[in-house]
């Protein structure tokens, strides 16, 4: 576990984020998923499961006896309501993922890997949450396979709620549902040049 620190700032001022003797090496944002229709990671499985479920549900309509107490007309109303509910789930997941990824920015310095997350606090005020992961020789950095671009594991938190006391924190529907059950890993999500960026971080590990 790293000695991760989390700051809460009113404004996105780079001078407030970086230390005076710290040098910025790289900055970026998630390379995919920032648009509503850009489905990422495990979110794709949810949408496919919902689509298959809706198709199977409607396919049972022909097997319902028209003269039964609950006839086809009743089934159509129920199926329509269920379909709207499933569509709502898909739309909610896509909008939640878009909201999270659109409010993330990544920084790599000669000392730390940093995630900047803009979001609302419990008073509904917009704040900038800065997750600071110092370079560590003992931390198991890794590239995580994800679609369409890989992610880089840069740190570990005990709880994702440490990042944002009100809202979604760093998690979104593209992440596995098992990802944050025990601890919450901190990642640069969907980085096209993930391997090169990981090598940059590892080169700076031995310097601190």
Distances (CA, A) of 46 to 25, 50, 60: 37, 6, 22
pLDDT at 165: 41
- H runs (alpha helix) in the chain: 14-17, 43-59, 72-102, 194-205
Q: What is the mean pLDDT of each run of 10 residues along the chain (208 residues)?
A: 74 81 93 92 90 94 80 90 96 90 92 87 73 89 89 79 51 63 79 92 78
pLDDT at 180: 54
User: 189, 101 in Cβ contact below 8 A?
Assistant: yes
pLDDT at 166: 40
CA–CA gap between residue 6 and residue 61 (Å, rounded): 53
pLDDT at 68: 73
- What's the CATH architecture for 5-33+104-205? Roll (2.30)
pLDDT at 167: 44
End-to-end CA distance of the chain: 17
pLDDT at 2: 62
pLDDT at 109: 94
CA–CA gap between residue 156 and residue 120 (Å, rounded): 22
């Amino acid at each position: 576990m790293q000695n991760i620190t989390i700051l809460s700032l009113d404004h996105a001022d780079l001078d407030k984020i970086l230390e005076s003797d710290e040098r910025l090496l790289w900055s970026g944002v998630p390379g995919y998923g920032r648009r509503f229709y850009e489905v990422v990671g495990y979110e794709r499985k949810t949408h496919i499961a919902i689509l298959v479920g809706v198709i199977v549900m409607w396919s049972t309509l022909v097997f319902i006896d028209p003269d039964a107490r609950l006839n086809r007309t009743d089934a159509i109303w129920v199926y329509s309501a269920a379909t709207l509910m499933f569509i709502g789930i898909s739309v909610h997941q896509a909008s939640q993922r878009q909201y999270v990824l659109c409010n993330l920015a990544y920084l790599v310095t000669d000392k730390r890997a940093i995630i900047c997350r803009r979001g609302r606090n419990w008073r509904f005020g917009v704040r900038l949450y800065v997750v600071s992961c110092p370079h560590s020789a003992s931390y198991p950095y890794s590239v995580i396979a994800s679609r369409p671009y890989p992610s880089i594991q840069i740190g570990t938190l005990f709880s994702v709620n440490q990042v944002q006391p009100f809202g979604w924190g760093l998690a979104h529907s593209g992440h596995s549902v098992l990802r944050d059950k025990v601890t919450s890993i901190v990642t640069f999500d969907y980085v096209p040049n993930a391997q090169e960026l990981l090598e940059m971080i590892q080169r700076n590990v031995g310097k601190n």
